[in-house]
Structure 1
């Protein structure tokens, strides 16, 4: 992996992070892996961060724990919080620590509570990304999702933000190309 990540054409690094849906006995292995991988992250990379809390929560504790563990990364490192499920507090703290953080949203926003929805509305449009996380989060009646289902994530985010789907798609396309 160190050989591959050293290639100039490699622009992303990840996804790495913390998944508390895994058995608790394995959590320390996740932290060890993060600590071993972080030194390989270069400024040209977008660090793709995976963070999941325990089933039934919004992942706030998991995001804050992970944030504390990755403070060794450069403050200006670009980060993509993949499949973001946090609240406004998490958004604020990650942007304080890493101002170049981008927040990716999937169809999961359909199940967001009011605190998570508030986070979706408070994130500046220049920090929004859309994801399908294919093959996960399929549309009803489908076994898997695919990248052509991005419109649904855009529609759900647009509804929460009270803007048009076209505006969300235009902004997130521009951001995706830039990042």
Structure 2
């Protein structure tokens, strides 16, 4: 924080930095983010290997943190010792959340019972270690909500939320934060989210690009990929919908990230 008590930039709480689309460009993407005022990034781990790769990058880059976990797409591919490997990763200082974990009944790359087993194991580990969960959900809201309630999960974020007002309120009732991406900028698919965001309190909101995906449609001309440096474009649409200033949004969403991920004792 600065001497005035405000944060000096943006916090992108969702970056797939080691996606194939970014291969070999990781350093430049980080530098462009810094130049755009995006001083903090949370990298997303989709499996144990990527989580390790993220952690190694974060250890050498100030203001970078990562999740560690198994995405539902990867649930059927875990090694026998995956849970212990995950536990070890979660003990490292820049690893701040369990995930990306959850259910995806849209593509079903892993059988649904396997998804649910791997998800439940991660929820139990997060509760045991008192670490927030970083949640993925697609076409599985009812089942996922039931599992979160069964495990009494109240500490985490609904990553890349694209649902409607009733789903938003259900996550808020659990005590979760909600991650808003460039979906909010989509005049075709984002209408439900644009309506729901009026019910999202500022103190429960996180900002994400989900780079390289979900390039905001408000950006013209359109670059090839989304990246953290474009987070201010997402913020501009939220500021318009919520009638707030960009400084206010930057401060409160960065503060939210620090609170949720317990970053006060880490390099920011």
SS in 2 for 1:70: helix
Q: TM-score w.r.t. structure 1 length?
A: 0.81
Tell me the alpha carbon deviations over residues 100-147 of structure 1, each in whole angstroms, 9 at most, x when there is no partner.
Answer: x10101111122544322211111100011001112123553222211
Report the aligned-residue RMSD. Answer: 2.3
Residue 224 of structure 2 is matched in structure 1 by 143
Structure 1 alignment gaps of length 5 or more = 54-61
Q: Does 1:41 align with 2:126?
A: yes
Tell which structure's C-alpha radius of gyration is larger.
Answer: 2
The alignment status of 1:3 with 2:81, answered yes or no, reads no
Q: Which residue of 1 aligns with 2:161?
A: 84
Distance in 1 (alpha carbons) for counterparts of 2:234 and 2:192:
18
TM-score by length of 2: 0.56
Q: CA, structure 1 residues 93+8, in 2 after alignment: closer, same or farther (shift >3 Å)?
A: same
Q: Which residue number in structure 2 is paired with residue 157 of structure 1?
A: 238
Partner Cα separation in structure 1 for residue 195 and residue 142 of structure 2: 18
Q: Are the equivalent residues in 2 in contact too, given 1:83–1:104 (CA < 8 A)?
A: yes
State yes or no: 1:72 paired with 2:150. Answer: yes
Matches of 2:90 and 2:205, distance apart in 1: 28
Q: Is the 8 A contact 1:82 1:104 kept in 2?
A: yes
CA contact (8 A) 2:209 2:227 kept: yes
| Distance in 2 of aligned mates of 1:128 and 1:134 | 18
5+ residue gaps, structure 2: 1-84, 261-268
What is the aligned residue count? 168
Which one has more relative contact order, counting CA pairs under 8 Å at least 6 apart? 2
Cα distance in 1, alignment partners of residues 141 and 111 from structure 2: 17
